[in-house]
Amino acid sequence: MLDTIFFDSRMSDQVRREQLYRGRLFVFSPRPSSIEVCDFARGMINEAFGGRDPRTAQFSMPVEEFVSICAPLKPAFIHHPKTLNLIKNLVAELGCLLCDTYIDVPRLRMVTHGGYLTSGVGYAHHPHRDTWYSAPMCQLNWWLPIYPFEAESAMAFHPRYWEQPIRNGSRSFNYYQWNADGRANAAKHIRSDTRVQPHAEEPLELEPQVRPVCPPGGILLFSAAQLHSTVQNTSGLTRYSLDFRTVNIGDLGARRGAPNIDSGPTGTSLRDFRRADDLAPIPEDLVSGYDNDSPQEGILVFEPPTP
Ligand SMILES: [Fe+2]
* CATH number of domain containing 11: 2.60.120
**Does residue 165 fall inside a structural domain?**
yes
**Does residue 47 fall inside a structural domain?**
yes
**Does residue 120 fall inside a structural domain?**
yes
% pLDDT > 70, the chain = 93
Domain total of the chain: 1
Q: What pLDDT score does 179 carry?
A: 86
Give dist(CA 66, CA 268) in Å, integer: 33
Q: What pLDDT score does 209 carry?
A: 96
Does residue 106 sit in helix, strand or coil? coil
- 221: CB partners within 8 A, 6+ apart: 16, 20, 25, 26, 27, 28, 94, 140, 141, 142, 143
CA of 133 to the centre of ligand 1 (A): 9
Instruction: Please report, as a single letter, which amino acid is at residue 289.
Output: G
CA of 24 to the centre of ligand 1 (A): 16
Q: Could you report the per-residue pLDDT of 242-281, keeping only the tens digit for each?
A: 999 999 999 999 999 999 999 999 999 999 999 999 999 9
Q: What's the domain range around 191?
A: 5-288
Phi, psi of 5 (to 5 degrees): -120, 120
CA of 188 to the centre of ligand 1 (A): 21
CA of 125 to the centre of ligand 1 (A): 7
CA of 97 to the centre of ligand 1 (A): 24
**Does residue 302 fall inside a structural domain?**
no
**Does residue 55 fall inside a structural domain?**
yes
Intervals of the chain under pLDDT 50? none
**Does residue 278 fall inside a structural domain?**
yes
**Does residue 126 fall inside a structural domain?**
yes
How many angstroms separate the Cα of 232 from the Cα of each of 117, 191, 202, 221, 287? Answer: 11, 16, 20, 21, 36
pTM for the model: 0.93
**Does residue 41 fall inside a structural domain?**
yes
